[in-house]
Structure 1
Amino acid sequence: MILPGVLALLVGAVLAFAVHGDVGGVGVGTVGVIVMILGALILIAGLLRLRRGSRQRVAGHRDRVYRTSKGKIIAMVIAVIYIVSPIDIIPDFLLPVGVIDDATAFGWLLFAIGQELTRRRGGQAA
């Protein structure tokens, strides 16, 4: 659920901010905002599922259960809400600086998700 949520969030952002026009009397920007919100909800649902344990087979040891910490999940959910929220530290109308804070939050979110998925699949757990 995480990767489809990230993809929908990204596609919705592109539709909302980069594509102009109407489709069947509905603005593409409106469709983009709706897709962004749905993607954010799917992503948050996926992030909340990270708290479930993931069994990893470690050579010579019993199965180890890896769980993402509550703090990291909360930080990732806050990042999603910040990206979708119209309330920003730097307003988006101050282009391009206004978009950089959202892009930074999105970049950190992608990094954190990649890190957690690697750990859950038995990669390096740093």
Structure 2
Amino acid sequence: MYEDPFYASGTYEESEDFIKYMWREKHSEKEQVSDFSLMLDKKTRVCSVTRNGDINSIMNFDPENETRGALNTVYGVIDVKIRTEYVNVPNALADGIEISYVIDAGSTEPVKNTFLIKRLLQSP
């Protein structure tokens, strides 16, 4: 988890049924660049996030059902349970996606996190 907001350039696509964000992150010189993809189904509010980099992961967030995810780390694959508290979709009042969830790897205390993506307009 990161205390300060992280800013990254990326792409945004939207159709009648889906919203897709893609971006790259590198928080420190010790980390490799990570490529992220987020796909949101507007009707079900089910959201899938994939990460490829130092950690490879696939996590699905479903407000109606507990889901499972996998984090492929240098220590091996860690299977996790994900309990999604909510998925807020972009609307007239909020130009972003917000996901609140609890992740449980079974070996430690569950971790609560809120993940927020906002679009900022910027000239190249």
In the superposition, the TM-score normalised over structure 1's length comes to 0.24
User: More helix per residue: 1 or 2?
Assistant: 1
User: More strand per residue: 1 or 2?
Assistant: 2
In the superposition, the TM-score normalised over structure 2's length comes to 0.24
Q: Choose 1 or 2 for highest CA Rg.
A: 1
